[in-house]
Structure 1
Amino acid sequence: MAPAPTPRAARQATASPSASPSVLSPSSVPPLPSTRPSATSSTRLWSGPPPESAFRILIATDNHLGYLEKDPIRGEDSFRAFEEVLQIAAARDVDFVLLGGDLFHENKPSRRCLVTTLRLLRHYCLGDRPVPFTILSDQAAHFGPATPRANYQDPHLNVGLPVFSIHGNHDDPAGDGNLCSLDLLAAAGLVNYFGKQTAVDHVRLDPILLRKGDCRVALYGLGNIRDERLHKTMLAQHTGASTEAGAGDDDNDNDNNDDAYFNLMVIHQNRVPHGATSYIPEEFLDDRFDLVLWGHEHECCIDPVRNTAKGFHITQPGSSVATSLSPGEAVPKHVGILTIRPGHQFHIEPVPLTTTRPFVIDDIALAQLGLQPHDHEAIQLALSDKVEQMIATAHAEWRDAHPDRRGQPPPKPLIRLRVEYSGGYTTLHPQRFGQAFAETTANPKDVLHFYRRRVYANPYAPHPTAGGGRSGTTAPRAPLAVPDPFLPDRPEDVDVQEIVATFLAAQSLQFFAEAELSEAVRLFVDKDDRSAIADFVGSTLETAQTALQQ
């Protein structure tokens, strides 16, 4: 049995908004709301207050620390939002924080990003607050040999707010030692990193068994694996999950069985299909789970939705900072307070984030404005008026959401106007257009996004006969207007491996393995692993030389 946490002196005062000064700057994170946010939209599976033994967990995902950190306007957005997440956790006195991946935006975060993250975690997670739960399963199997126990049970540390996290597709392990930035935070004793797989062709899910009084939780985690590869593995049913119920538990009651555990799964994969195998269908997950925390998708859908085929619920907290100018990012952002009590019952209370930057997105079609296609000045004036309206909307929405800060000017909003210019209309230079809004928007260089609609033959249109109705003679099919796909907002939206595969298809490689070369290029480009290609070439040469010598 894993040792119970060492009793510590209770905190002198419960964390409160006024007692949690910002680590970044005195005014970077405003005080938290003094009243509890409404939870009328969340799932309630019991009435009345939860028992003392109920788990209280703050759930969040996709913090993307370091996103646009060199931007003079948006550089602090990711850090402010993450600090607010930690402030909420401390003020609401949760048992621990559970993160669903992509804590960092870059695979190799900058020194400034790492130092800021370490400062935040030290400030809010270290302290004398007693941790009210214990771990029953083999901790070394979950956290690895370098950190063989949870940080709050380390006798050399004094952790009052444990943080558990899996990795995402941005901060996944790579390179020598298969390490990532979360390994660094784990070695520093600030994060409990779990969910790393040693063999992607056979996924093994062994849960962290948690106990708080008579409440038990089996916490499963699966860090990000390339969707196509994981899809293939799961389709072949090369996955395994266990509860090891009661492992290390010396109680001789009825709790030593699977039914005693609330099964909580954390995953970081595409939930929305982007291709035949570039996502993970919900039905691929085991029906033993009670609740699935889904990371990677940035749209906030935190209210749990039941999968009728499998019986579990899914909550999608979404990102805490906007990393693209898409409709999903414009949805108001929340974290959740997950309460679990015995009997497989849970409740999620959505808590809005107040530090996120206002974001308004809208569409407009030039053909519907009644303007001449080549009247450049009229088009610019119409689009400028529309952007001004969107800025006013952003300010009004921010004031309505922050009545306690009416005396403060609203932050510069993110504005995205998607302009359809089909019908021979001219486009404007987005950066030149944005210069007029440099003082009123946070993203003046990409306020506008132009696209056209292409016309295709409609394969589903009827085939009316022409002339006298002679069989085999058909009239032209009705055209079908389909929007041209939007250009990617982010460089990471471009699939490097697809480009490499297209190039290699025209080559005839005799020495290098195409799949391994493609993976090396991906690591070099996506993960900034400067030695990936050289290591691949050296390894291939060494293998060939050994084969020749034999």
Structure 2
Amino acid sequence: MPGEDVDDTFKILIATDIHLGYGEKDAIRGNDSLVAFEEILDNGKKHDVDFILLGGDLFHENKPSRKILHGCLALLRKYCMGDKPIQYEFLSDQSVDFSHCQFPILNHEDQNLNVATPVLSIHGNHDDPTGQGNLCALDLLHTAGFVNYFGKTTSLEKIEISPLLLQKGSTKMALYGLGSIRDERLHRMFLHKNVSMLRPKEDKDDWFNMFVIHQNRAKHGATNYIPEQFLDDFLDLVIWGHEHECRIDPEWNGIQNFYVSQPGSSIATSLSEGETAKKHIGLLQVKGKDFKMTKIPLETVRHLYGSI
């Protein structure tokens, strides 16, 4: 449990698989995803977090409707813009971290924007980059200055994951992100040692290393998933998106010596047993190399019952 010294403690709201736009044409459930998203952003504001971290599939479709895109932008503007001071420093090279973006800069460091609660997000398999320009909806949100989109890779042969380096007081955080890639391809790249995670050059052991990923965690075939053992053992915490079952309480991997937190989806998108569990988001506190994950139940989510 990190101490109460707020000057040295990161407070981060963790959520994933919000699936904005799921069932939007349904007369009853059409706005459920937007309602859940508003509850998430409201929690970020109430808990006065340093930033919100999203683990992919913010949108249910690669090309969200104008209604959903408008609703998303309106909520981000309502809850995340403002003149609240940012309490942490960004230390790494933004031109490298956001090289895939037309504006390679964090929104809260852009002098043209007033951002109170930054949102950082990777893409998922539903809202991944495609087509001309290899763009996705998150590219639009980043260009508009509402979301900081990271973890995008364009190489099909070799991936180098460079961390976002953040510091709050004496606490240093290296935040790694990798947007969704077809599991078979990424599995093969890991086997061939073509995925590497770059580490800070100085004081490597002083950093809290966190990785957000959006892939199959459960085994669906010989190569249709990413084993936890593929990930580097210097990591402290892995935030695992894509899997919809809520297993947000950190689980210890005794082989790799890191914890894995699987927040699960924010709304139910299928009639499966994993979707019947109560939906949660997480309030992550990090001080030094210590962390605590406090799960927050989502109260507006329509519950899916496993049996009648």
**TM above 0.5:** yes
One-letter identity of the residue aligned with 2:128: D
Residue matched to 2:170: 214
Measured against aligned partners, the alpha-carbon deviations of 1:149-179 in whole angstroms (never above 9, x if no partner) come to 1000000000000000000000000001111
Does the 8 Å contact 1:200/1:225 carry over to 2?
A: no
Unaligned runs of 5+ in 1: 1-44, 246-255, 363-389, 391-550
1:200 Cα deviation from its structure 2 partner: 2.5
Does the 8 Å contact 1:220/1:263 carry over to 2?
A: yes
Does the 8 Å contact 1:56/1:339 carry over to 2?
A: yes
Residue matched to 1:348: 293
The answer to whether structure 1 residue 134 and structure 2 residue 75 are counterparts is no
Residue matched to 1:183: 139
RMSD: 1.0
The answer to whether structure 1 residue 155 and structure 2 residue 82 are counterparts is no
- Give the TM-score normalised by the residue count of structure 2: 0.98
Given candidates 273, 285, 298, the residue that maps to 2:231 is 285
The answer to whether structure 1 residue 108 and structure 2 residue 63 are counterparts is yes
The answer to whether structure 1 residue 298 and structure 2 residue 298 are counterparts is no
One-letter identity of the residue aligned with 1:285: L
Residue matched to 2:161: 205
For 1:493-504, what aligned pairs fall within 5 Å after superposition?
none
Q: Which has the higher contact order (CA 8 A, sep 6+)?
A: 2
1:242 Cα deviation from its structure 2 partner: 1.1
1:51 Cα deviation from its structure 2 partner: 4.2
Given candidates 216, 220, 231, the residue that maps to 1:274 is 220
Structure index of larger Rg:
1
Unaligned runs of 5+ in 2: none
1:340 and 1:90 mapped to 2: Cα distance?
18
Residue matched to 1:320: 266
1:50 Cα deviation from its structure 2 partner: 4.6
Does the 8 Å contact 1:58/1:336 carry over to 2?
A: yes
1:244 Cα deviation from its structure 2 partner: 2.8
Residue matched to 2:187: 231
Residue matched to 2:48: 93
1:51 and 1:172 mapped to 2: Cα distance?
36
One-letter identity of the residue aligned with 2:197: A
For 1:425-444, what aligned pairs fall within 5 Å after superposition?
none
Q: What SS is found at the alignment partner of 2:282?
A: strand
Q: What SS is found at the alignment partner of 1:56?
A: strand
- Structure with the higher strand share, 1 or 2: 2
Q: What SS is found at the alignment partner of 1:287?
A: coil
Does the 8 Å contact 1:62/1:102 carry over to 2?
A: yes
1:241 and 1:111 mapped to 2: Cα distance?
37
1:143 Cα deviation from its structure 2 partner: 1.5
Residue matched to 2:151: 195
Residue matched to 2:198: 242
For 1:63-78, what aligned pairs fall within 5 Å after superposition?
63-78=18-33
1:148 Cα deviation from its structure 2 partner: 1.4
The answer to whether structure 1 residue 174 and structure 2 residue 119 are counterparts is no
Residue matched to 2:253: 307
1:341 Cα deviation from its structure 2 partner: 0.2
- Structure with the higher helix share, 1 or 2: 1
One-letter identity of the residue aligned with 1:64: H
Query: Structure 1 residue runs of 4+, over 2 Å off?
Result: 48-52
Number of residue pairs matched?
Answer: 307
Q: What SS is found at the alignment partner of 2:299?
A: coil
Q: What SS is found at the alignment partner of 1:298?
A: coil
1:50 and 1:323 mapped to 2: Cα distance?
40
1:143 and 1:88 mapped to 2: Cα distance?
27
Measured against aligned partners, the alpha-carbon deviations of 1:434-479 in whole angstroms (never above 9, x if no partner) come to xxxxxxxxxxxxxxxxxxxxxxxxxxxxxxxxxxxxxxxxxxxxxx
2:103 and 2:236 mapped to 1: Cα distance?
29
2:173 and 2:189 mapped to 1: Cα distance?
27
Given candidates 279, 285, 294, the residue that maps to 1:333 is 279
One-letter identity of the residue aligned with 1:131: I
One-letter identity of the residue aligned with 2:29: R
One-letter identity of the residue aligned with 2:136: C
2:291 and 2:185 mapped to 1: Cα distance?
33
Q: What SS is found at the alignment partner of 1:140?
A: helix
1:358 Cα deviation from its structure 2 partner: 1.9
